[in-house]
């Protein structure tokens, strides 16, 4: 990091109520949206912090977003305390500014916030063992269960229609019609694949329209790397709470499976490597249902599989839309990064379709495990 960036970040960090002198700053994590920096203090015993520049183009209502996170973490902490656990180890902790605000702005109009860094934890972009996968399932199942006692009306719907497939498909169609970056010709076969499946992918919204699915508070970004595990791969903490808002549980289940079941990275170029790791699916389903089975309705259980097919499909629609638009939303690291990401998700949908029967029976067995 250049000394200029160091000085800029340090100046922002000094606005927050950090208990010590910052001696090192480095980039942190693999998120596609916000910029994250790790702040190291002169005294190791005081721990480290994460400073984030919130992507204000994507999250216009930072006030609402930070209030949501404050409400959710306060609620979760009170439950962990009742359980006799160290709440600060199991939830994110917001560090306010020296004047007590949840975030700060700078002269360039950027929005910043600070969390404590949970030491000794790990996150995985690719899941390696059934134990990790089981823990991830427990983490998100418990997260949904704990938030069932928080009044959903208190939360702002921070990104409306986030997992609404009709909304995502209409954005894709708009992008196709505009063809801003002149990239349509090369992606026509992918567009055809998507269009062929449109109706099938509307099963969750149709169930919702029939009032068959309760609206709950969900995480909405349950990529596996949004769970921190401890050194023995037990659950420690669910992170990235930017999109916590009312939603359907199948979206969280499907988004987690999307990242767990893929034996390769989200941007793997060699599609032969994008194959299903079925034991990890079984482990996640068992971990998730061990926490969630008791509060889910029959219809919600029925919707889980629809979520598994829908989320990689929707992610393909989103990556493809951004590729066609000329890469305006997701951070990219090379020119056709969004196209590579799209193809990976399409391959995943194909693999899931082939394995449907086998995976459904694993899911059934996990319910009675
Ligand atoms: C984005 O925060 P991050 O980079 O993990 C995106 C998710 C996508 C994900 C795909 C607000 O998440 O919805 O599933 O990339 N977040 C937002 O990797 O759009
Ligand atoms: Mg996120």
Would you write out the chain's pLDDT as a tens digit for each of its 369 residues? 788 788 889 999 999 999 889 999 999 988 899 999 999 999 888 889 999 999 999 999 999 999 999 999 999 999 999 999 999 999 999 999 999 999 999 999 999 999 999 999 999 999 999 999 999 999 999 999 999 999 988 999 999 999 999 999 999 999 999 999 999 999 999 999 999 999 999 999 999 999 999 999 999 999 999 999 999 999 999 999 999 999 999 999 999 999 999 999 999 999 999 999 999 999 999 999 999 999 999 999 999 999 999 999 999 999 999 999 999 999 999 999 999 999 999 999 999 999 999 999 999 999 988
- Ligand 1: list residues with CB < 6 Å: 31-33, 58, 221, 223, 240, 243, 266, 315
Name the closest ligand to CA 251.
1
Tell me which CATH code domain 130-368 carries.
Answer: 3.90.1200.10
To test ligand 1's pocket by mutation, which of 60, 161, 221, 260 has the most ligand atoms within 8 angstroms of CB? 221
Q: What angle do CA 201, 207, 210 make, to 5 degrees?
A: 140
Please tell me the predicted confidence (pLDDT) of residue 253. 98
Which residue has a Cα nearest atom 5 of ligand 1?
31
Instruction: Look at the alpha carbons of 200, 202, 204, 206 in this order and tell me if their dihedral is positive or negative.
Output: negative
Residue 237's DSSP bridge partners are 228
Task: Report the pLDDT value the prediction gives residue 83, as an integer from 0 to 100.
Answer: 95
The CA distance from 251 to 255, in Å, is 6
The pLDDT, as a whole number, for residue 157 is 95
Non-local CB neighbours of 332 within 8 Å, separated by 6+ positions? 338
Q: Which ligand is nearest to the CA of 220?
A: 1
Q: CATH 3.90.1200.10 in the chain: give the residue spans.
A: 130-368
Name the pTM for this structure.
0.96
Outline which parts of the chain fall under CATH 3.30.200: 3-60+93-116
Question: Of ligand 1's atoms, which has the minimum distance to the CA of residue 259?
Answer: 18
What's the Cα-to-Cα distance from 366 to each of 140, 312, 327, 369, rounded to whole Å? 16, 22, 40, 5
Indicate the DSSP class of residue 355.
T
Ligand 2 centroid to Cα of residue 368, in Å, is 32
Ion ligand 2 neighbours, Cβ < 5 Å: 221, 240
Q: Which of 27, 28, 29, 32 to mutate to test the pocket of ligand 1 (most atoms within 8 A of CB)?
A: 32
The per-residue pLDDT for 11 is 93
Atom of ligand 1 nearest to the CA of 31: 4
CATH code of 3-60+93-116, in short, is 3.30.200
Which ligand has an atom closest to residue 162 CA?
Answer: 1
């Amino acid at each position: 990091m250049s000394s200029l960036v160091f000085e800029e970040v340090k100046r922002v960090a000094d606005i927050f109520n950090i208990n010590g002198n910052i001696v090192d700053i480095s980039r942190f994590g693999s998120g596609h949206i916000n910029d994250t920096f790790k702040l190291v203090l002169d005294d190791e015993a005081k721990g480290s912090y994460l400073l984030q520049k919130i992507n204000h183009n994507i999250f216009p209502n930072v006030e609402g977003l930070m209030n949501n996170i404050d409400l959710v973490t306060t609620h979760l902490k009170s439950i962990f305390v009742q359980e006799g656990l160290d709440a600060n180890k199991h939830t994110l902790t917001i560090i306010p500014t020296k004047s007590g605000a949840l975030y700060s702005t700078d002269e360039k109009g950027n929005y910043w916030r600070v969390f404590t860094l949970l030491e000794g934890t790990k996150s995985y972009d690719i899941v390696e063992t059934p134990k990790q996968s089981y823990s991830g399932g427990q983490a998100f199942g418990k997260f949904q269960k704990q938030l069932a006692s928080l009044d959903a009306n208190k939360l702002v719907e921070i990104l409306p229609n986030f997992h609404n497939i009709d909304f995502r498909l209409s954005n894709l169609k708009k992008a196709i019609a505009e063809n801003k970056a002149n990239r349509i010709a090369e992606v026509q076969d992918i567009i055809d694949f998507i269009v062929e499946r449109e109706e099938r992918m509307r099963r969750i919204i149709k169930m919702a329209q029939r009032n068959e699915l309760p609206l709950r508070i969900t995480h909405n970004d349950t990529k596996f790397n949004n769970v921190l595990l401890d050194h023995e791969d037990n659950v420690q903490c669910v992170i990235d709470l930017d999109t916590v808002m009312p939603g359907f549980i199948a979206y969280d289940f499907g988004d987690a499976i999307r990242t767990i079941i893929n034996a390769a990275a989200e941007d793997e170029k060699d599609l032969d490597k994008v194959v299903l790791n079925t034991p990890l699916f079984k482990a996640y389903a068992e971990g998730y249902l061990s926490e969630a089975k008791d509060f889910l309705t029959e219809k919600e259980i029925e919707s889980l599989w629809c979520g598994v097919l829908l989320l990689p499909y929707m992610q393909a629609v989103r990556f493809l839309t951004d590729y066609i638009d000329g890469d305006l939303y997701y951070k990219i690291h090379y020119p056709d990064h969004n196209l590579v990401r799209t193809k990976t998700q399409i391959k995943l949908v194909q693999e899931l379709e082939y394995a449907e029967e086998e995976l459904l029976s694993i899911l059934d067995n996990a319910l009675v495990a």
